[in-house]
Amino acid sequence: MENKLMLFGAVVVGILTFMVLLAPVIAPYNPTAINIEKALLAPSGAHIFGTDYLGRDLFSRIIYGGRISLSIGFIAIAIALIIGVTIGSIAGYYGGIADTILMRFVDIMLCFPSFFLILAVVAMLEPGIFNIMVIIGITGWMGVARLIRAEILSLKEREFILASKALGASDMRIIIRHLIPNAIAPVLVSAVLGVAGAVLLESSLSFLGLGVQPPTPSWGNILMEGKASLGVCWWPMLFPGIFILITVLGYNLLGEGLRERFDPKKR
């Protein structure tokens, strides 16, 4: 059953990735082209998801918006991985005072509610794609640091690590060439799940007007713009909401399936 769910998640992720990469080919209209005469048209053959309050084609905007939302998710998680793997590796390998200081810093960061911390930082900066990527990344590395530290603590006393030390390998070489590659599997699972969380965070911030700014489309600001016409028509909010739901579901199923596969207790 788990394999079927993972396969379903992989198919969903693959289709979404294919769609956003080929957005210029798939999207039938310019996502920012305004045509007031076609405002709030219902879904039809010409506009399969209908149009928004400015007459822009919703299908085109959602496809291009997916490119922005998923890019933010991937880059934010990449930033979180770099920070988390670096801090977790140093803490796990050296132990002692370095481990104590770094892990207490992780504990302090975990004490702050992440969403409200992000809101506070965003409020002090200018909303934009780059700032959102960095903010989500620098507030989402703590779980990665804990995971990599735990793995390295169990690996650093293994025979192949002791042999590398006996051969004179430097600490940096041991960490980069031997420890991180052998400890990365649960971190990659966490990264897959993290993409879903980052997409949700970006959508939430953009919905509140603190993320990607119009006219650049993202799923969050398409939802925000659709809110104004909710009493008149349903499609401007339904379709971006469905895409957010499918994306998060796909990445969560894929991540849970990978977790089951990499968990030695399940083998």
Q: Give Cα separations from 16 to 36, 69, 173 (angstroms).
A: 30, 11, 38
Calculate what percentage of the chain has a pLDDT beyond 90.
54
Average pLDDT, the chain: 89
pLDDT (tens digit, 9 = 90+) per residue, 93-112? 998 999 999 999 999 988 88
Query: Domains, the chain, ranges and CATH?
Result: 2-11+50-266 (1.10.3720.10)
Q: How far apart are CA 78 and CA 236, in angstroms?
A: 31
**What tens digit of pLDDT does each residue of 11-20 get?**
999 999 999 9
Residue 210 has pLDDT above 80, yes or no: yes
- Using the 8-state DSSP alphabet, how is residue 186 labeled? H
User: Hey, what amino acid is at 171?
Assistant: D
Return d(Cα 72, Cα 70) in angstroms, integer.
Answer: 5
Tens digits of residue pLDDT in 142-190 = 999 999 999 999 888 888 888 888 888 888 989 888 899 888 888 888 8
DSSP letter, residue 85: H
pLDDT over 90 at 232, yes or no: no
User: How many residues in total does the chain contain?
Assistant: 267
The tens digit of pLDDT for each residue in 42-80 reads 999 999 999 999 999 999 999 999 999 999 999 999 999
pLDDT number for residue 2: 58
Which one is predicted more confidently, 123 or 91?
91
Instruction: Considering only residues 94 and 116, tell me which one the structure prediction assigns the higher pLDDT.
Output: 94
Whether the pLDDT of residue 36 is over 70: the answer is yes
pLDDT value of position 250: 94
Torsion region of 113: left, alpha or beta (phi above 0 gives left; psi -120 to 50 gives alpha):
beta
**What's the pLDDT score for residue 15?**
94
Q: Tell me: pLDDT of 224 over 60.
A: yes
Phi, psi of 34 (to 5 degrees): -95, 135
Residue 108: Cβ within 10 Å count: 10
Query: What is the reported pTM?
Result: 0.89
The answer, yes or no, to whether residue 25 has pLDDT greater than 90, is yes
**pLDDT of 1 above 70:** no
